[in-house]
Amino acid sequence: MSRSLLTFVLLGAAAAAGTAQQDAERLYNRTDYQGALHLLVPQPNKDARTWTLVGKSYFGVGEYKKATEAFEQAVALDPRNADAVHWLGKCWGRRAEIASVFTAPGYASKARQYFEKAVLLDMSNREAIGDLFDYYMEAPGFLGGGLNRAEALADRIATLDEAEGDYLRAQVADHRKEFDKAEQYLRRALELAPRQVGRTIELAKYLSKLGRVQESEATFAQAEKITPNNPRILYERAQTYIRDKRNLAQARELLKQYLASPVTANDPPKSKAEELLRKAGA
């Protein structure tokens, strides 16, 4: 084979691989995880980016062991890939949730270690920060959890993103039953980032938890004005109604709208919406 022909073949193979990656990313973003895997798994010589997408897709279909193996490949190829490191932690965390009492503690410790590493690599990765914070809030001290660690992380984040730091501080305050302080933190987070609809949603959910239903409804309406037809608002509002055991008929309608909406991989999985729908009596 001539050198020019070999170059042509190699360029064609690279272009085909690039197209497959892009198509797989589109499928993944539309939550068609099986479709993405169908394109990605046969690809030879996968790089860290491809292994990361393979792992996310396996995670999306509940194949957590295969997802773990894919992210381990990605991290081996690119140890400073904070996204892959974070998702590797998510895999170990999910496996800890479904593991036996004998293996769960080890899996949970691995999750914490990878979450901490991901945050160290990229302090702007909100998902990694959120997962590490949740771990500190929920895990017992012998597994590296604790309110003091959660509070320290919130203070660190506040130096980079004051609104996010206040949101995390609100959760610590609520856990300590300092409800007024928690509300103040959520309101300040909203004042700092009024166009981030998540800030409005979190305040609406918390006001409902405090029993201040009218204020909560007005705040949810404010969120809808910020981003009309946002599927996340449908889900979060329905989840709030079900948590607080009110407006269950409306919650069912909101979840049906959510299930009929085009959601992305960044939205709550439709399987979670289906679980909530059953919980609401559908």
In the numeric block, which tokens belong to residue 174? Answer: 């609520």
Q: How far apart are CA 205 and CA 267, in angstroms?
A: 17
**Would 28-122 and 146-220 be classified into the same CATH topology?**
yes
Nearest residue to 73 via CA among 50, 94, 96: 50
- CA 171, CA 147: separation in Å to the nearest integer? 10
Query: Which is more confident, 90 or 282?
Result: 90
Domain ranges of the chain: 28-122, 146-220, 228-282
How do residues 198-215 score in pLDDT, each as one tens digit? 999 999 999 999 999 999
pLDDT for residue 17: 53
Residue 150 has pLDDT above 50, yes or no: yes
Instruction: Give the position of tokens 């009309």.
Output: 228
* pLDDT of amino acid 123: 92
pLDDT at 158 over 50: yes
Per CATH, the homologous superfamily of domain 28-122 is Tetratricopeptide repeat domain (1.25.40.10)
**pLDDT of 120 above 70:** yes
The answer to whether residue 184 scores a pLDDT higher than 70 is: yes
Which of 118, 148, 122, 121 is CA-nearest to residue 132?
A: 118
Q: What pLDDT, on the 0 to 100 scale, is given for residue 80?
A: 97
What one-letter code names the amino acid at 102? F
The span from the CA of 186 to the CA of 182, in Å, is 6
Q: Which two tokens stand for residue 137?
A: 């809030």
What's residue 6's pLDDT? 46
The share of the chain scoring above pLDDT 70, in percent, equals 94
Mean pLDDT, rounded, of the chain: 93
Residue 4 pLDDT:
54
Contact 73, 46 (CB under 8 A): yes
Under the banding of pLDDT at 50, 70 and 90, the label for residue 10 is: very low
233-267 tens-digit pLDDT: 999 999 999 999 999 999 999 999 999 999 999 99
What pLDDT does 9 receive?
Answer: 42
22 by Cβ neighbours in 10 Å (0-12 / 13-18 / 19+) ranks as: exposed
Mean pLDDT to the nearest integer, 44-61: 97
Measured CA distances, 110 to 128, 139, 170 (Å): 14, 13, 27
* 259-263 contact pairs (CB < 8 A, 24+): 261/231, 261/234, 262/30, 262/231, 263/31, 263/231
Distance CA 110, CA 92 (A): 6
Pick the CATH number of 146-220 from 3.30.420.40, 3.40.50.2020, 3.40.430.10, 1.25.40.10: 1.25.40.10
pLDDT at 14: 46
Burial of 150 (0-12, 13-18, 19+ CB in 10 A): buried
| Residue range 111-139: mean pLDDT, rounded | 97
- Is the per-residue pLDDT at 224 higher than 80? yes
Q: Give the three-state DSSP class for 85.
A: helix
> Average pLDDT, stretch 117-141?
96
pLDDT at residue 188 is higher than 60: yes
pLDDT at residue 13, as a whole number: 44
